[in-house]
Amino acid sequence: MILLTGGRGAIAEHLLTSLRADGLDVRVGSRHPDLLRLPADVPAVACDLTDAATFPAALSGVTSVFLYAEAAAITEFAAAATEAGVEHIVLLSSSAVLDPGAATNPIAQSHLAAEVGLAHVPMTVTVLRPGAFAGNARNWAPAIKADQPVSLPYPNAYTDPIHELDIAAAAHALLTGPDHRGTAHTLTGPETLTFTAQLDRIAAITGRPVTVERVTPEVWREQTAEYLPAPYADGLLGYWRRCDGVPAPITDTVSTLIGRPARTFTSWVEENAAEFSG
């Protein structure tokens, strides 16, 4: 039995599809299992990664886990997984843990703490460290659909956008095969692109005009304050500042793990173009 945590997330959803296609037994955990939309043959279970009381039932009979990097109760999760006899954990972390300021960046810090919490467990732990999700581009959709400029404090910051399907495919390969387990893998898309270049591709594919308004970090922080806590906003701003004009390093790890090249950002936009339409 494989337990997928973070059941409402895109990665878990794609991973579930591929594991079921293999005929494997899968259980999906979520803080709100009643909100999951699952096939009739897939059980949902309460698994709140901040609440250790939900761990024993979620892990009962489980041999492998796809685990989101929530550090709040990682020690308790490790203990419950050990007690349940779990053999392998694939942890979805972030390449942000490799940043020199990871220990003080709240975004990187939570992923790093989850990795540290699993450092000495008896089962095999494999860590996936994707860079920027291609799906982060959805944050620009409201402005684009409203024909308003996209506010960016660092429009020339580079990222390494990776398709969510490739992250799920990497997790699938690790959960179902013996190769490349027990180590950390940094995942990127096949190219490094500035935010401006990404927006240019969205404009070209959707046929909608996209403009960029360069704003100060302070203005951007105010614009996002309603939904993004200040420490996380500061963490993103610091990261983008370091990436301003600096191409992100690209890896071929996706190809190594799944046997084909990583999908391009262009392919992601083509598949999701409707999200940027009015």
* CATH number where 109 lies: 3.40.50.720
**Do 94 and 232 share a domain, yes or no?**
no
Of 163, 161, 158, which Cα lies nearest the Cα of 196? 158
**Do 88 and 147 share a domain, yes or no?**
no
Give the other-Cβ count within 10 Å of 220's Cβ.
Answer: 20
31: left (phi over 0), alpha (psi -120 to 50) or beta: alpha
Q: Rounded CA gap, 6 and 3, in Å?
A: 10
Whether residue 194 contacts residue 277, with contact meaning beta carbons closer than 8 Å, is answered with no
**Do 31 and 125 share a domain, yes or no?**
yes
What pLDDT shows up at residue 187?
98
Residue 180, pLDDT > 90, answer: yes
Each residue's pLDDT tens digit, 235-250: 899 999 999 999 999 9
99 pLDDT tier (thresholds 50, 70, 90): confident
The DSSP letter of residue 263 is P
Block residue for tokens 């660092």? 154
**Do 7 and 55 share a domain, yes or no?**
yes
**Do 152 and 272 share a domain, yes or no?**
yes
Share of the chain above pLDDT 90, in %: 88
Q: Rounded CA gap, 113 and 76, in Å?
A: 13
**Do 89 and 140 share a domain, yes or no?**
no
**Do 44 and 103 share a domain, yes or no?**
yes
Q: Is 88 inside any structural domain? A: yes
What pLDDT shows up at residue 277?
87
Q: Rounded CA gap, 169 and 257, in Å?
A: 8
192: left (phi over 0), alpha (psi -120 to 50) or beta: beta
For residues 40-52, average pLDDT: 95
Domain that holds residue 153: 135-161+189-248+259-278
97 pLDDT tier (thresholds 50, 70, 90): very high
Q: Rounded CA gap, 92 and 70, in Å?
A: 9
Q: Is 74 inside any structural domain? A: yes
Q: Is 182 inside any structural domain? A: no
